[in-house]
């Protein structure tokens, strides 16, 4: 987008490749533009190259080929300490021999700031993460969540415009993690900083990001907003990785504009939204979200027979495992609403879904 208007994005990965051994590419031809003030998450399974990308941006790894530009300037040859990029590490990396205050003062001291300036900035940064009273403590005396806040404050205290976060919430328990997600999000919004966030937790990525880059096998599979990514996954990997998904394998029989007629492996034929299934005779994966399946007939949607195999009560919804089109791994989520349908195991029911909710992706 930015390239069209002439002035470049804040962070640009331009055809970046990375190889550690000269034989295998860990990052293959990465192109990514990050706008100023954006919160971009690199999401992917471990070994997908997301952390390598972050380390190249921070300057701890060098790109094997291609250029990375920050604010229009190539930074490939700038050492990490001159890049002015804040970073939050997975294990917080708080210096154990310094107090919280000294930890925060460190980036200011290496910039040779005055004592009173340092004190003011440290206090402001600590207050921002509600850690004002803890300046004299040692990191070892803090809980995981508190250490995380301090690490965040330390990355922000020297007014970095770009902050990188490498799975910063990985070590926290679920409740604290969700709380910190909101907190980081608010800090991002209030300070207007640009954040590049790495995680393998898809719900974390969906909660926090403006845009998510889904990594797999050294390639960005899809770069889109959380909603776009969830509602309209571009390929089978993304559909599988983001949220829960039912997959049905089949072969494309005919294409009709946006519609594909797919013959499933058990012989049945269904109609689906053609996303990237290619042309007729291609193998394809049909993807249906469990919460988009209706029980019983609805309007003139095509219905199919399903057998209830297993019911799991989860409070806010009921997970129902069904046998549909020859697969018994088909999951349907029934919201626990006031008037929801009561199913019993072994029961045979009709199910249906909107044709647009059944997406024909690559095989």
Partner 1 sequence: MIDTTRTDPKKTLPASDGTLLRKKLHRVLLRSRLRAFGLVVPLLLLIIMAFLVPVVLFLVRAVYNDTFSSNMPNVTPMLAKWDPASEPTEEMYAALVADLIKTREDKSIGRVATHVNRQLSGTRSLFTSTARRAARLEAPFKRALISIRKEWGEIKTWHAMKIAATTYTTAYIARAVDMQLNADGSYSARPEDRRIHVTLFLRTMEISIVVTLMGVVLGYPIAFLLANLPVRTSNLLLILVLLPFWTSLLVRTTAWIAMLQGQGVLNDLFVIFGIATDEHRFSLIYNKTGTLIAMTHILLPFMILPLYSVMKTIPPSYVLAARSMGASPWTAFWSVYFPQSIPGIGAGGILVFILAISFYITPALVGGQDGTMISNFIDFHMRSSLDWSLAAAMGLVLLVIVLFLYWLYDRVVGIDNMKLG
Of 58 and 293, which CB lies nearer to partner 1 in the complex structure? 58
How many Å apart are CA 75 and CA 173, to the nearest integer?
Answer: 36
Smallest separation, CB 278 to partner 1 (Å): 44
Of 98 and 254, which CB lies nearer to partner 1 in the complex structure? 98
Residue 335 CB neighbour total at 10 angstroms: 10
Smallest separation, CB 10 to partner 1 (Å): 18
Of 111 and 305, which CB lies nearer to partner 1 in the complex structure? 111
Smallest separation, CB 111 to partner 1 (Å): 6
Closest CA to 345 of 317, 301, 311, 315: 311
Smallest separation, CB 265 to partner 1 (Å): 47
Smallest separation, CB 86 to partner 1 (Å): 7
Of 104 and 264, which CB lies nearer to partner 1 in the complex structure? 104
Of 32 and 160, which CB lies nearer to partner 1 in the complex structure? 160
Smallest separation, CB 148 to partner 1 (Å): 14
How many Å apart are CA 333 and CA 289, to the nearest integer?
Answer: 9
Long-range contacts of 58-65 (CB under 8 A, 24+ apart): 58/83, 58/85, 58/87, 58/164, 59/83, 59/85, 61/18, 63/16, 63/17, 63/18, 64/17, 64/18, 64/19, 64/25, 65/15, 65/16, 65/17
How many Å apart are CA 53 and CA 350, to the nearest integer?
Answer: 47
Asked if residue 303 lies in contact with residue 294, where contact means CB atoms within 8 angstroms, the answer is no
Binding residues (CB under 8 A) for partner 1: these are 58-60, 79-87, 89-91, 93, 95-97, 106-107, 110-111, 154-155, 158, 164
- At residue 24's C-alpha, the angle toward residues 22 and 30, to 5°, is 100
How many Å apart are CA 114 and CA 116, to the nearest integer?
Answer: 6
Asked if residue 162 lies in contact with residue 197, where contact means CB atoms within 8 angstroms, the answer is no
Residue the block writes with tokens 């949607």: 301
Cα–Cα distances (Å) from 245 to 5, 20, 237, 352, in that order, read 38, 35, 11, 15
Of 107 and 250, which CB lies nearer to partner 1 in the complex structure? 107
Of 91 and 258, which CB lies nearer to partner 1 in the complex structure? 91
What is the per-residue DSSP string for 92-150?
----TTS-HHHHHHHHHHTTT--HHHHHHHHHHHHHHTT-GGGTTS-GGGS-HHHHHHH
Smallest separation, CB 89 to partner 1 (Å): 5
Smallest separation, CB 342 to partner 1 (Å): 44
Of 54 and 293, which CB lies nearer to partner 1 in the complex structure? 54
Smallest separation, CB 252 to partner 1 (Å): 48
Of 66 and 80, which CB lies nearer to partner 1 in the complex structure? 80
| Alpha-helical segments (H) within the chain | 2-5, 50-58, 100-109, 115-128, 144-156, 174-191, 202-208, 226-231, 236-241
């Amino acid at each position: 987008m930015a390239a069209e208007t002439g002035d470049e994005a804040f962070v640009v990965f331009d055809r970046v490749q990375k190889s550690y051994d000269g034989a295998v590419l860990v990052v293959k031809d990465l192109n990514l533009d990050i706008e100023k003030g954006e919160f971009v998450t690199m999401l992917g399974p471990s070994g997908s190259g997301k952390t390598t990308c972050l380390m190249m941006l921070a300057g701890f790894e060098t790109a094997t080929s291609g250029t990375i530009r920050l604010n229009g300037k190539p930074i490939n040859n700038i050492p990490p300490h001159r890049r002015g990029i804040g970073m939050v590490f997975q294990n917080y990396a708080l210096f154990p021999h310094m107090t919280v205050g000294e930890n925060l003062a460190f980036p200011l001291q290496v910039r040779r700031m005055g004592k009173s300036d340092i004190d003011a900035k440290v206090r402001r940064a600590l207050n921002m993460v509600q850690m004002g009273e803890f300046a004299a403590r040692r990191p070892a005396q803090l809980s995981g969540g508190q250490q995380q806040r301090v690490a965040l404050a330390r990355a922000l205290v020297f007014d970095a415009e770009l902050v990188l976060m490498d799975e910063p919430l990985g070590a926290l328990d679920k409740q604290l993690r969700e709380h910190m997600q909101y907190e980081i999000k608010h800090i991002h919004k209030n300070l207007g900083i640009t954040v590049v966030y790495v995680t393998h937790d898809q719900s974390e990525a969906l909660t926090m990001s403006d845009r998510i880059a889904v990594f797999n096998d050294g390639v960005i599979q899809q770069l889109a907003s959380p909603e776009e990514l969830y509602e309209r996954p571009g390929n089978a990997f993304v559909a599988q990785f983001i949220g829960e998904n039912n997959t049905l394998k089949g072969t494309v029989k005919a294409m009709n504009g946006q519609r594909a007629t797919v013959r499933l492996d058990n012989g049945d034929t269904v109609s689906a939204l053609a996303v990237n299934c290619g042309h007729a005779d291609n193998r394809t994966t049909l993807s249906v979200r469990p919460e988009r399946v209706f029980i019983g007939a609805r309007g003139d949607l095509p219905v199919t027979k399903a057998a209830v195999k297993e019911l799991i009560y989860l409070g806010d919804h009921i997970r129902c495992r069904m046998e549909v089109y020859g697969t018994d791994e088909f999951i349907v989520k029934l919201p626990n609403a006031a008037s929801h349908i009561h199913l019993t195991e072994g029961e045979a029911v009709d199910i249906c879904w909107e044709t647009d909710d059944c997406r024909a992706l690559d095989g």
